[in-house]
Amino acid sequence: MRSWQPLHRTFTASAALCGLALVSCVRPSPTGGPDAVDTTVDLGDRKLDLAPFLTGYPYHLATPVFAEGQLLVDHQGATRTLRSVAADFDGAPPDLSASKPISDVDWDSRNRWDLEYHAADQSLYWQGDAVNDEKIDLWRMPLAGGAPERLTDEPYVYGFSFSPDGSELALIPRRGEGPYSSCLERMDPETLQRTPVLCDTPEATLTWNKPSWAPDARGVLTRVNLDGQRSRANLAWVDFEQPGLRLLLDPAPTRRSAFALDTWLDDNTAVVFVNDDAKERVVALDVRDGSTRDLWTFERPMQWVELLAPDGQQRLILIEHEPVQDTITLVDPATGKALDSKTVNGTLHWLGDDDDDRALLEVVSAGSPLQTQVLTATPDSLSLRPWVALPDSLLDTLVACDVERVSYPTFDQDPATGELRQLHAYLFTPKDGPPRAKQPVRITAFYGGENRYSDETQIHCAAGVATLSPAVRGTHDFGPAFAALNDGDLGGDELIDVFEAARWLETQGFSRGKIGVYGGSHGGYATMRALTYPPGTNDHGAERIYPLAFGVSRAGFSDIVTFHASSNIPDWVLLEAGDPATEADKLKDRSPLSHVDLLQAPILLIHGENDSRVPVAESRQFAAACEAAGKDCVYLEFTGMGHHIKGVENLVRQYQATFDLIRRATAE
């Protein structure tokens, strides 16, 4: 099972904007050896070498290929390469330094998602682009090495999956500029001949997912959104003999997620995850009549669902997530009975499995950058064995923060307790830094509270800057009900949660005038919004707004209406903010661009020129409005980059600009 739900236009007049005094346009990084890149940043009173964090332990696990006894890893040097190393998953961990490049592609210059090995042609398949512009196509490359081959030429491919015998694949290309039209097609991977099956309708739109093939390949299950709404997910059965989108789930409940695993219980029964009305369940779904049988109800947020077959007996593997630890449980799908479980300190990420009894999991935590576990399942038990891990000699170098799990009260009442709602957060403070009263501290505007290692956070600690990472309302790690709290309220109460975090920091010894905010994508928008938040939003008075000292926004959108019109995820806007067709006035008021006059703190805007998730015009127009209003705004644009800034030299430049802004904004 693979499942994900992510959050194109290139603006060509960059030369004109680069002429503005507040704008720095960064050109592509050179592709020379590691010695060609200067990795030091100037902190004013000293220098910091970023090399240990960026390239000191350069391996990032990608995919285990159990059938071939190989482990794929990304290697980060001056460029990022995909490498392979022989791996005995039953034995000692491989020496990653012995890995060999599969190709000479620099993966810093392009995107690659959902890497999958196809045994029939011994090739790797993935969704990706060629130039970091999120023109997502289907690609492949021989595992033994070679150049990537583009298999489609589409504006965007939502997902793909192989038939049970591997002889064909299903894919969902999306076309148009919005509203989009998406189709389900079949492809012969040998001839690349494509056969259209059907296209969606405005009432049931195809979206991100991997179509799940029936074991006899007579059809697929695929996710659709009803009326284009992400909160109205459903599953449709498509019979190849009589194509049509036959909905199988009750359309009435609010449902933000629905997906089918790639392995079924029998020819008619799929294993499906749904979160109807915020209740997360795994069910057996009969595609003939849509009847369901409950297999498991999650007590904690779902992290992963998989179906393996140890000794030929089908077993569900379920991972439930908590802020500090994850629990993995073995379940008999015939009875719904839990047979064994293990608890792991950290967050588990499923890297891949052999479809039978083994899987490779990555374990991440706030204080540890790399460790893996090999999972082995029997019909009755689970075992976890440590495998690849970070060398002890590097831990002290790469962990510059002391980490503390904390909670703080926000402004509203928790209906479960009747008390003020308590929000989970992680506080990262420099191991070797000034007293808290002297430390700058930044608050994660969104996507915070995760128990994971962050190079960025550790680099800030090494520079003497603390970080508070709170799980504000809308965060997904605390169940669908909490995640839905900001639906339709983008830029509203989630920012009050950030302001309350700043006030709590003062109670912990940090100083007003040194507390700022940062974030990327949604968090980039939230950063701009936090610094321009107008009194009266959701009836909050000016006393609720905290005077933040600085902001760093990466790939943020500044106008919700123009973002909806130009982004490749307009359905996300409908869910989180509202419909520009009927709520344009509200969305304009929730847009930072409408309130640049309220900006009182310095802000750094960072954006990639090729970004099509959040088009670069969103930062450009905010930067131009800041200059016109005489506001303190620095704009850093990266040519050749998309929604994420990649490449060692690019990252060094980004960090230097960030530290320059923080130092200037918090100087006494």
505-555 pLDDT, tens digit each: 999 999 999 999 999 999 999 999 999 999 999 999 999 999 999 999 999
pLDDT computed for residue 448 by the predictor:
95
Residue 65 neighbours by CB under 8 Å, 6+ apart = 71, 72, 84, 117, 143, 352
Please classify residue 244 by burial: count the beta carbons closer than 10 Å to its beta carbon, then call 0-12 exposed, 13-18 middle and 19+ buried. Answer: exposed
φ, ψ of residue 641 to 5 degrees: the values are: -105, 155
Q: In angstroms, rounded to a whole number, what is the distance separating the alpha carbons of residues 134 and 644?
A: 11
pLDDT tens by residue, 356-378? 999 999 998 988 887 899 999 99
Would you list the domain boundaries of the chain?
Answer: 14-51+395-666, 306-390
pTM of the prediction? 0.92
Integer CA distances (angstroms), 318 to 222, 229, 307, 349, 596, in order: 21, 27, 9, 12, 47
- In 445-585, DSSP assigns E strands to 466-470, 515-520, 551-554
Residue-level pLDDT at 25? 36
Q: What is the pLDDT of residue 34?
A: 44
Residue 385 pairs in a beta bridge with 374
Phi, psi of 366 (to 5 degrees): -60, -25
Query: Pairing mode, if any, of strands 401-413 and 420-430?
Result: antiparallel
- Per CATH, the number for 14-51+395-666 is 3.40.50.1820
Residue 36: what pLDDT? Answer: 64
Paired residues of 329 in beta bridges: 318, 341
Strand, coil or helix: 581? helix
Give the pLDDT score at 30: 36
What's the pLDDT tens digit per position in 374-409? 999 999 999 999 999 887 778 778 999 999 999 999
What 3-state DSSP class applies to 144?
coil
Q: Could you say which residues of the chain have pLDDT below 70? A: 1-36
**What is residue 61's predicted lDDT score, i.e. its pLDDT?**
84
The token pair at 513 is 């005038």
Phi-psi region at 304: left, alpha or beta (left = phi > 0; alpha = psi -120 to 50)? beta
Side-chain half-sphere exposure of 299, counting CA atoms within 13 A: 4
